[in-house]
Homo-oligomer: A and B are copies of this chain.
Amino acid sequence: MADALTAETILGTTEDVLRRYGPAKATVVDVARALGVSHGSVYRHFPTKAALREAVTQRWLARAHSGLSDIAASDAPPVDRLRDWLAALFEAKRKKALGDPELFATFTVLVGESSAVVDAHIASMVDDLTMIIGDGVAANDFTAPNPELTAKAVFEATARFHDPAHAGSWSDPDVDTAFKAVVDLLVAGLRSRR
């Protein structure tokens, strides 16, 4: 069994162990035991407990992101890509928060520990938005003297619909109306001739 042990297998099991024991109690020994290997086998892939926790956090965050980059790089008009991208991010986050609240709470703790992982994740999302907004400027659809700064502003202005701190209100009956109103206002701002 040990020779077939891949990083991906370890990370999948780590997620199960975190779900079962919670982020405060889960240890590398628990992960090794669940895999039926020695903890040395786990450490060969992830040299420290912190490295393992960071890798599993990154994997979990990347899952939310899957599909977003495809939307950003598609051939659709920039304004459609922007709306689709923001809606897909909100939908993915909401599904994770409401569909598996325990795992979401677990990863909210892990995310708080790994600011470098989170910063990289946010940077990759701002990159997507920068590409869309830059394309919109090139197509004369959007006005944005500094597409990266504007991409950050769009990301910040929609925090209420993707930052886990707001997850408690994502099942409110009027949250979709609120989301649409915010996106409409941001799109209008991007389309304006300043």
Contact = CB atoms under 8 A, between A and B. Distances in A.
Contacts of A5: none
A186 B189 contact: yes
Given A159-B160, A165-B165, A166-B165, A188 B194 contact: yes
Contacts of A153: 178, 181-182, 184-185
A149 B181 contact: yes
Contacts of A150: 181, 185
Contacts of A159: 159-160, 166
Given A157-B157, A165-B163, A165-B166, A185 B182 contact: no
Interface string A135-175: 00000000100000110111011111001011000000000
**A: interface residue count bin:** 20 to 34
A169 to B, nearest CB: 10
Quick one: copies of this chain in the complex? 2
A134 to B, nearest CB: 15
A66 interface: no
A24 to B, nearest CB: 21
A171 to B, nearest CB: 15
A192 interface: yes
A178 B154 CA distance: 10
Contacts of A39: none
